[in-house]
Amino acid sequence: MANIQEFKAIKSWIFDTGLVIRVEEIFSEQFVKKQQQTSTVSQQTKENAHHIVQVLYYFITCAIKYMEKHEPSGKILKDYKHWYNGKETEWIKALLRLGLVNEALVLAEQYRAFGSLVVILESQREELSDTEEINQLYGKYFEMFGYSFASSVYSYYLKTGRIQPLLLDFMNYKHYLLEYFEKNPDKTANVSWIRSLLDQDFITASEALVRSANLKPKDKVLNREIKYSIAKLATIAASQSSEITDEKVSEIERQLEIVRYQKAVYNALAGQIKLESLKLEEFRKSYVNHDLDNSLVNSVVEQYFQSFIEGIQLSPERLIDLLTTLKPSLLKKMGFANALRVAQSFQNESIADFYISVVWLRLLTIGEGEKLFMQWDNKNVSDEINKKKIVDSTLFNTLKEIKLESKLIERLDTLLVNPVVGDEHEDNITINQLNESLSSVLRKYLNNNQRNKNFKLWVEAVKEEVKLSL
């Protein structure tokens, strides 16, 4: 049997005619698309099919080797390989349907078509009652071709969802599996953590879980919570490097909190209504803050509603929108405090500051009714009643929950001096319109003399009451 390295890097005149492509088209038409079976064709037809595939493998391999030698970085080579990789497994499958198993095996082995080699082996595993022979062949190819073959096995198992054999079979060659995980971290993160836990490699398991959670933008809230929870436990278990472990645990805990903020909203609504049947209009009327601008409210809610109802984890930006546009009472006036923690999760300090300011803007304008701060210091009512107004307010509950954290209070004070948040970190036009609308409201609060006086007195009074309560 010829070794693939022995095929010459030649440019045959055949490729100038397009003959190989035409032969492939005819073969695909007759044997791939029609999926002819061994019982419906003659022996001569089977032999013809085998010879055609031999010819295709030979000439295409020669062409690829020629281009690799003379045009290694060319687009033509890239496109040609892509075309070939998409076709050659179908040729092998056609031979298998014709009962040409040995012939297919020889070709796949000869031309190092490892993906097709796995297809052949797995097709035989399904047909044979004794799989020991197949396992021996796998062992032979692991030894013969090493990682190149092993990676094709793992890719096949991932693609077909065969996670158990991926993680548990061929443990004599586990080093290839670990190499595959290392070289394909994004592709394998969803499963590699299981192998790492089995090996008690807790740090690697944790990293894979966090990667898996972060990579999937439309992951379910429950899935993400499970991943972060296991990642946290795995990190804690890796106690031999405590300093790194503490840092990692803190970061995972922050991400877990964000997931749970959304889950808290979901659970609050689920206790009142069947979420699967909840429509946007009903959601807006029953659960969204009525102080939002009527001309914007539907557009704002549309940014997060469908994903939220389907239990999909929202992006931090849209989660902030959810938490700050709901009626404060739905989350026992903790929505804005939770939104501030989400805003703090951005690693870029400038972006974090922007969203912290956005949360404060919304709290100051729609978190309380204007009537509350205009009348809170009413001389005709007792101090006890005025104090109760403060303690019952969303602002009080928010400031108490964040324990007057200086970094957050600094952004609040800045906003009270200059009530502008800008739009440099928000690409959503609707959300920018909302922020600008609320900035106008806040400017009115601060620019009107009597209103300005009452508003600032209100904020300071709430701060002082929080200090006394801590």
Q: Write the single-letter amino acid at 344.
A: Q
Is pTM beyond 0.85 here?
A: no
The two tokens of residue 102 are 């040995």
Q: Residues 349, 354, 357, 361: what is their CA dihedral angle, to the nearest 10 degrees? A: -170
153 touches 170 (CB < 8 A):
yes
pLDDT per residue of the chain (470 residues) written in tens, 0 to 9:
445 445 555 555 555 667 878 888 888 888 888 777 767 778 998 899 999 999 999 888 888 888 888 877 778 888 888 888 889 999 999 999 999 999 999 999 999 999 999 999 999 988 877 788 899 999 999 999 999 999 999 999 999 999 999 999 999 999 999 999 999 999 999 999 999 999 999 989 999 999 999 887 788 999 999 999 999 999 888 876 556 677 888 889 999 999 999 999 999 998 888 888 899 999 999 999 999 988 999 999 999 999 999 999 999 999 999 999 999 999 999 999 999 999 999 999 999 999 999 999 999 999 987 777 766 666 666 778 888 889 999 999 999 999 999 999 999 999 999 998 988 899 999 999 999 999 999 998 888 666 667 788 889 999 999 999 98
Please give the C-alpha separations between residue 244 and each of 228, 236, 247, 248, in angstroms, as whole numbers.
17, 10, 5, 6
141 touches 149 (CB < 8 A):
yes
Rounded Cα gap, residues 109 and 127, in angstroms: 20
Helix (H, G, I), strand (E, B) or coil at 250: helix
Nearest Cα residue to 100 out of 126, 122, 120, 117: 120
Q: What is the pLDDT of residue 2?
A: 44
Q: What is the pLDDT of residue 327?
A: 95
Rounded Cα gap, residues 395 and 245, in angstroms: 35
C-alpha of 9 from chain center: 43
Q: Residues 219, 222, 228, 230: what is their CA dihedral angle, to the nearest 10 degrees? A: -130
The two tokens of residue 39 are 């019982």
Q: Which long-range contacts (CB under 8 A, 24 or more apart) does 68-73 make?
A: 68/9, 69/9, 70/9
Give the other-Cβ count within 10 Å of 308's Cβ: 24
Q: What is the pLDDT of residue 356?
A: 98
Residue 288: beta bridge partners? 326
Nearest Cα residue to 155 out of 122, 197, 111, 204: 122
What are the DSSP calls for 334-360, one per residue? Answer: -HHHHHHHHHHT-SSHHHHHHHHHHHH
Residue 250: beta bridge partners? none
What are the DSSP calls for 198-214, one per residue? Answer: HTT-HHHHHHHHHHHHH
